[in-house]
A and B are shown apart, each in its own frame.
Chain A
Amino acid sequence: EAQVTQNPRYLITVTGKKLTVTCSQNMNHEYMSWYRQDPGLGLRQIYYSMNVEVTDKGDVPEGYKVSRKEKRNFPLILESPSPNQTSLYFCASMATGAYSNQPQHFGDGTRLSIL
């Protein structure tokens, strides 16, 4: 089954404690992206990656890091989380090139609470 898998689904942690949210896709998609969803703000793009070792900032990259060492994985790293990063996070992937008009496939989300 084609899917985007995020882990963990829920996490409560404290300010300053480094955390990583993993994202993996099994569709061989070149493009992957991270979003955060906040009430009244919709989805805002944090980072995206066009392919292995190619990443770029979205609209709200401050406080986040990403890496793309393998095509299927795109982890989101919060080096020193702060309460304003409490949010619902989504990873997504998409085919590109000849399939560039295809929709994104989303994971089920990770709810992060930073105390």
Chain B
Amino acid sequence: AQSVAQPEDQVNVAEGNPLTVKCTYSVSGNPYLFWYVQYPNRGLQFLLKYITGDNLVKGSYGFEAEFNKSQTSFHLKKPSALVSDSALYFCAVRCTSGTYKYIFGTGTRLKVLA
């Protein structure tokens, strides 16, 4: 079965430290990969995507993500965390085999401590 895994329910990091939010996937073909962020009482907002090309993609608010095909991973990173980065983060995969089916991970709550 196709799936997206976010192994950590919560990640705590001190402000100013680097952060990593992990995502691995099990999807056939060459899917498109996305990260979204959700703030309280709001919908998901797009952060960044990997379609093809350079394995390191840069997105909004200083976030970046590294695609690793051999490990089927797409980890979200930021060199220096801010308290305002505290939110719920979702990894998502869009299957490209003729459909627009999306699979989301279960989400990781990031808590940046001042």
Question: What residues of chain A have their CB less than 8 Å away from a CB belonging to chain B?
Answer: 4, 31, 33, 35, 40-45, 48, 50, 58, 90, 92, 94, 96, 100-101, 103-109
Contacts and interface: CB of A to CB of B under 8 A. Distances in A.
Nearest to A30: B100
Given A92-B44, A107-B43, 11 more contacts: A33-B102, A35-B104, A40-B9, A41-B106, A43-B44, A43-B104, A103-B34, A105-B46, A106-B36, A106-B44, A108-B42
Contacts of B34: 103
Nearest to B45: A106
A30 B92 CA distance: 20
A13 B104 CA distance: 28
Contacts of B41: 108-109
Given A42-B90, A43-B90, A48 B43 contact: no
Centre residue among B41, B42, B102, B104 by max chain A CB count within 10 A: B102
A106 B43 contact: yes
Contacts of B90: 42-43
Centre residue among A4, A43, A58, A90 by max chain B CB count within 10 A: A43
